[in-house]
Amino acid sequence: MKIAEHIDPWICLTIFCSFTVVLFILLPLIEMIVQPSFQDLKETVQDPDVRRSIWLSIYTSGLAAFISFIFGTPFAYLLARKEFLGKKFLESIIDLPIMIPHPVVGIAILGIAGKNHWIGHLMHEVGICVMGTVTGIVAVLTFVGLPFYVNTVKAGFEAIPVRLENVSRSLGASLSRTFLRVTLPLAWRSMLVGIIMCCARAISEFGAVVIVAYHPMIAPVMIYERFTAYGLKYSQPVAVWLIVVCLVLFFLLRIFSLPKEHQT
Amino acid sequence: MARFDRPLKRVLVLVFLAAVAFSPFSVRAEPQGKLIIFHAGSLTVPFARMEKIFEAKYPKVDVLREAGGSTKMARMVSELHKPADVMASADFAVIDKTLIPEHAQCNIRFATNQLVLCYTDTSRFANEVNADNWYEILGRKGVIWGHSDPNLDPCGYRSLMVLQLAERYYHRPVLYDRLMANRPKKNVRPKSVELVSLLQTGNMDYAWEYLSVAVQHGLKYIKLPDEINLGNYKYDDFYKQASVKVTGKKPGTWITRTGKSCTYGITIMKDAPNPEAAAAFLEFLMDPNDGLKVLKEMGQPPFIPCRVPTAEMKARLPSSLQEFVEVRD
């Protein structure tokens, strides 16, 4: 009885809710992972088409994250450090890709990439083709992944005291030098998390990609194709491999970023 | 006497039939609740129209439609056990193959279609293309043309069949291989309807579609001779010469599809959550003044009356539907 009195109902609630959330996420996934037999998994991973699609998924997502890193970092810095007219508006534009239904993203991108649009026309002239190409896939994945990178890194920059940058500036360092020598070393972890988030978002994208590029097939499109053409039995193993590969990759990225964290 | 008797008998039979036909509805309550319809992508527009008229007629019914490649939709039922009341397939054989006998027990053929080559004003060589030179234009370098995935969408393998039949019909050996060499894999899409947006945005010049899709989306199209358009069952013997290999039950296995006229099939699921509404919808669909009329207006010539293969299958239909079907192979 005494013990019961000591347990705070709030703690009980947090534990209960945590369990519910974890179960909610894990149960369907575990169900899916244990469904395919070992034989199915082996056969699937030996299928060159499957390996190609998983690899394509990983490197297109990686490219999307890289592009987000290059263009998103300065942008996130601007948003974190400067106050200007229309900033709130700009921030909501960044969030747009999160809200827009995925197929709409694909349709929108195809819309400007077609010959009927002057941009698309120009691209065709130069030889850039979006429909059914890796270029198209990366464009879509960057579109959907970018907000995750920018928002994460923006929060990272905001957490760094402006004071430190001011000190550097007062000692005569230029803006770019300050960014490279002071801000970047302090914010790199948030950038890594941003890259992970962006990659994770990109790798899971299906709806927009299938509109822009059915072939070459990224893993989610292949899972869909396998399901439609052969049924559950042959789509699940592909899904399992994608999950396993992603889990390992993201786990490694997190591990890689941990020791430095302990030092700081 | 005999002369007098026959009409009387007929009247009596009619009265009896009418009584049988209407009794379930006089006994049963008015159909209500959700009615889930899975249908082929190429039926989206007529079914959307039918949904409106049907819901106006039965205000208590809420029609929920889900469109997709017919094979996929059938799998949603057979493998994922997604609940559905009615399933309409662009190829009636899909119902036979995937749903009967476990998930459905009837297969009513209700409409036909044919393949056409669609294009827009901005398509390359749009002002040149006609029913006599289309196959030459599709072979030209730089022309982007596509079709849907033969493994997922009946429209896909049918498009390929048209090309094979054209080879025979126009006496152009290796036409098929030559055209396929000019169609990179990236021009293949899961569903034929998706190609429409590629045409409209200028990402593609020509696409193989059903006539209905072309009519409903207001696309320009080339109508092909009956011998190769897969739309006239009188040419089934000629169509038979075309065959396309599509993926079988597991990766790496193949089955062969042989050419035959495009025939739509519809069925009620055995474990339909709402069988009353399902029967009411089919009754509406098969009525020449309701559903079949809509189909006719939208470029999908209906069978009047609709057809079932055996008398046994007809007997299994809800009694209200039997007057709308005939037994015909």
Q: Give the CA dihedral A137, B209, B183, A226, nearest 10 degrees.
A: 50
Binary contact (B250, A130; C-beta < 8 A): no
In a domain, A52, yes or no: yes
List residues in chain B touching A: CB distance below 8 A.
Answer: 69, 71-72, 75, 78-80, 122, 149, 151-152, 184-190, 194, 197-198, 200-204, 247, 249-251
B174: left (phi over 0), alpha (psi -120 to 50) or beta: left
- In the numeric block, the tokens 């962006």 are attached to A198
Q: How many CA atoms lie within 13 A of B119 on its CB side?
A: 22
Shared domain for B140 and B234, answered yes or no, is yes
Inter-axis angle of helices B275-286 and B44-57, to 10 degrees? 110
CATH code of the domain containing B307: 3.40.190.10
Minimal-distance CA residue of chain A relative to B122: A116
ipTM of the complex: 0.71
Shared domain for B164 and B280, answered yes or no, is no
Shared domain for B170 and B220, answered yes or no, is yes
Residues of B in contact with A47 (CB under 8 A): 251
In a domain, B13, yes or no: no
Domain end call among B258, B291, B307: B258
pLDDT tens for each residue of chain B, 329 residues long: 444 456 666 666 666 655 555 554 444 568 899 999 999 888 988 999 999 999 999 999 999 999 887 888 888 888 888 899 999 998 888 898 889 889 999 999 999 899 999 999 999 999 999 999 999 999 999 999 999 999 888 899 999 999 999 999 999 999 999 999 999 999 999 888 889 989 998 999 999 999 998 988 899 999 999 999 998 878 989 999 999 999 887 788 898 999 988 889 999 999 999 999 999 999 999 999 999 999 998 888 899 999 999 999 999 999 899 999 999 87
d(CA B130, CA B153): 26
In a domain, B4, yes or no: no
Minimum-distance CB partner of B190 among A117, A214, A231:
A214
Shared domain for B107 and B28, answered yes or no, is yes
Confirm if B273 and B77 have CB atoms less than 8 A apart: no
Give the gap in angstroms from C-alpha A121 to the nearest C-alpha of chain B. Answer: 9
Select the more confidently predicted residue: A42 or A259: A42
Domain tally, chain A: 1
d(CA B212, CA A80): 54
Shared domain for B194 and B288, answered yes or no, is no
d(CA B3, CA B19): 25
Shared domain for B133 and B245, answered yes or no, is yes
d(CA A38, CA B10): 66
Shared domain for B236 and B277, answered yes or no, is no
In a domain, B8, yes or no: no
d(CA B118, CA B208): 6
Q: Which domain holds residue A178?
A: 38-263
Domain tally, chain B: 2
pLDDT tens for residues A72-117? 999 999 999 999 999 999 999 999 999 999 999 998 999 899 888 9
Minimum-distance CB partner of A110 among B190, B203, B247:
B203
Give the gap in angstroms from C-alpha A127 to the nearest C-alpha of chain B. Answer: 12
> CB-based contact (8 Å) between A35 and chain B?
no
- Any idea how long chain A is? 264
Element (H, E) at A108: helix A102-113
Give the gap in angstroms from C-alpha A123 to the nearest C-alpha of chain B. Answer: 11
Residues of A in contact with B94 (CB under 8 A): none
Binary contact (B152, A225; C-beta < 8 A): yes
Strands (E), B46-143: 61-68, 86-89, 108-112, 115-119
In a domain, B3, yes or no: no
In a domain, B10, yes or no: no
Domain end call among B238, B258, B278: B258
Binary contact (B149, A111; C-beta < 8 A): no
- The alpha carbon dihedral of A28, B99, B150, B294 has a sign of negative
Minimum-distance CB partner of A214 among B75, B188, B247:
B188
How many other CB atoms are there within 10 angstroms of residue B177's CB atom?
10
- In the numeric block, the tokens 């894990």 are attached to A26
> CB-based contact (8 Å) between A133 and chain B?
yes
Burial of B74-88, coded b for 16+ CB within 10 Å and e otherwise, reads bbbbbeeeeebbbbb
pLDDT tens for residues A202-211? 999 999 999 9
The 3-state DSSP class for residue A110 equals helix
Shared domain for B251 and B160, answered yes or no, is yes
Residues of B in contact with A215 (CB under 8 A): 185-186, 188
Shared domain for B84 and B124, answered yes or no, is no
Q: Give the CA dihedral A41, A47, A52, A57, nearest 10 degrees.
A: -30
Q: Which domain holds residue B280?
A: 19-112+263-327
Best residue in B203, B205, B249 for a mutation probing chain A (most A CBs within 10 Å): B203
In a domain, B173, yes or no: yes
Domain end call among B258, B276, B304: B258
> Which pTM does this prediction carry?
0.75
Give the gap in angstroms from C-alpha A133 to the nearest C-alpha of chain B. Answer: 7
pLDDT on residue A60: 97
Minimal-distance CA residue of chain B relative to A115: B202
Element (H, E) at B113: none
Shared domain for B61 and B28, answered yes or no, is yes
Per-residue CA distances from B104 to A144, B64, B146, B269, B270 (Å): 41, 19, 34, 5, 5
Binary contact (A110, B197; C-beta < 8 A): yes
**What DSSP line would sit under B202-264, residue for residue?**
TS-SEEEEEHHHHHHTT-EEEEPPTTTSS--GGGHHHHTT-EEEEE-SSTT-EEEEE----EE
CATH code of the domain containing A50: 1.10.3720.10
Minimal-distance CA residue of chain A relative to B200: A116
Shared domain for B239 and B149, answered yes or no, is yes
In a domain, A32, yes or no: no
Binary contact (B202, A133; C-beta < 8 A): no
For residues A129-146, give the mean pLDDT: 94
